[in-house]
Structure 1
């Protein structure tokens, strides 16, 4: 793995480059994650592939890039990476959770940049009641993840141990998850914290809710071959998943280029464990 940079109008986005093959895939991560979330996927790629896993603005090595945030802004950054590393040829694209929404928008707006799109447990509009308190919904769904961003830990190992106790991760902990958490850790001993910018997370969370209908528009106008991989269990390892079966069925009927597949995992292990990662790679590298 090596760090590379993607020039954008207001600075440089950090990305993690895995592999040296001529075939390129761009990856976009979840709302409080980083490019390191795709380490398991990268290890499954054939030798003739390279994975460029972005640190989206506000996260990882891109945590000092300014807002505004939101899926349209992240989509612009994804397109900049596709243009840079594709060098005139379209590339494959994968996004997980929030990154799936940003990847969807990129593929809908600039289809000429992409050969295929893999959405991992994200990308479908989530029903939001009219007049709903968006901050209340965020607190109910992402509350623990957002709270973590304001906390400090006595050491990097203590931060790893905190993640290791997570109910969705504990039973399937692996070296990729350890590397992911260590990459996110910053600060001195006694005050270790996440590198993720809480303001970016809150802004992106509101955008996902407030602009939910727009992702339906993106799905309908897709021309890039697209597969949605979804998990039956959610953020805490519980049923149902983030994308319940009726929602998946609804959008499979409305989006002509959308193929769906259920993967036996939860919202995190669908990306960061070997079996599900191999499924992602199978679709990402399909001819």
Structure 2
């Protein structure tokens, strides 16, 4: 597997996009979309788990090395950015794979651009969250993201200080590795003589408000037409139960849909993608999606 990074022109600037290319034959193409404060490096474990797939993973605008792109209008802007990536790279109806906010973006992209993909895989995200009306963006961030939102307003003296912060995080107590250190170091950008997480608080608040209170996501979910797989986990961003989708609430939300849902009890919101074992679970769903859905011309 060989990795390269390119810049893709989108409305308002250039999006940094990573492409993992198989060393041999390409069995399928995947556009992998990271979470709300993440980056393309969240998918490096998947690249190891699925070395025969072409994995295309952007840093969403305002994240990673897509810092210079103008702010967008929530999920719809991110969705249009994905369409630009697919077109620029000449991808042929890839599987759209989204984790956390990336799953919401993928659902909206499939609605706004019906020919963009052959299937959707939603990992602990994508299904509209049941947040009460009248909740502000700050309140929603606190409710959904908790300490993750607080981190965005912190400053760090150097990379080691940031790694020390994450060493204390309960989600990674048993999952620390060199790849995680690379992932966290990539997240940092300069800020007045110190370092800060690449995703700003304002950017996160704007996207959180849109995915909770905006119209694009519920409209896209209601019109969901692509074959869709959903994978949820029972523990959330701080390894706490019940996670983003408590089981008693999940069944009614999925009722009446054709979504193929599985729940894996072994992972939390982060480790389902950012560990070798979690990535292997996601790779199995990719196998299912690639086998079950046709590319152009009707071949599987």
Residue 92, structure 1, aligned to residue 95, structure 2: yes
Aligned equivalent of 1:259: 260
Write the distance in 2 (CA, Å) between the matches of 1:144 and 1:194. Answer: 13
Aligned to 1:76: 80
- Asked whether the 8 Å contact 1:94–1:100 carries over to 2, the reply is yes
Q: Secondary structure at the match of 1:39?
A: helix
1:121 lines up with 2:128 in the alignment = no
240-249 vs 93-102, greater mean Cα deviation: 240-249
Retained in 1: the 8 A contact 2:29–2:95? yes
CA distance in structure 2 between the aligned counterparts of 1:247 and 1:93, rounded to whole angstroms: 25
Would you say 1:110 and 2:113 are equivalent positions?
A: yes
Contact 1:219 1:255 in 2 (8 A): no
Match of 1:171 in 2: 174
Asked if the contact 1:120–1:230 (Cα under 8 Å) also holds between the matched residues in 2, the reply is yes
Aligned-pair CA distance for 1:46: 3.1
Cα separation, 2, equivalents of 1:15 and 1:274: 22
Query: Structure 2 matches for 1:34-53, cutoff 5 A?
Result: 34-47=39-52, 49-53=53-57
Give yes or no for contact 1:28–1:95 (8 Å, CA) kept in 2.
Answer: yes
Partner of 1:56: 60
Q: Is the 8 A contact 2:144 2:244 kept in 1?
A: no
Structure 2 unpaired stretches of 5+:
292-300
Superposed displacement of residue 143, structure 1:
4.3
Number of corresponding residues: 283
Q: TM-score, normalised by structure 1?
A: 0.92
Corresponding residue of 1:273: 275
Matches within 5 A, 1:1-287: 1-20=3-22, 22=26, 23-47=28-52, 49-87=53-91, 89-187=92-190, 191-211=194-214, 214-256=216-258, 258-263=259-264, 264-285=266-287, 286-287=290-291
Distance in structure 2 (CA, Å) of the matches to 1:141 and 1:41: 25
Q: CA shift at 1:198, angstroms?
A: 2.5
CA distance in 2, matches of 1:247, 1:277: 26
Q: How many angstroms does 1:134 deviate by?
A: 3.6
Deviation readout 1:201-254 (Å, 9 max, x if unpaired): 11001112212x653432232221111110110111011011111332123222
Higher helix proportion = 1
Query: How far off its partner does 1:127 sit?
Result: 1.2
Counterpart CA distance in 2 for 1:278 and 1:42 is: 10
Across the aligned residues of Structure 1 and Structure 2, the Cα RMSD in angstroms comes to: 1.9
Whole-angstrom CA distance in 2 between matches of 1:201 and 1:132: 15
SS of residue paired to 1:254? coil
1:190 and 1:167 map into 2 onto residues whose CA distance is: 29
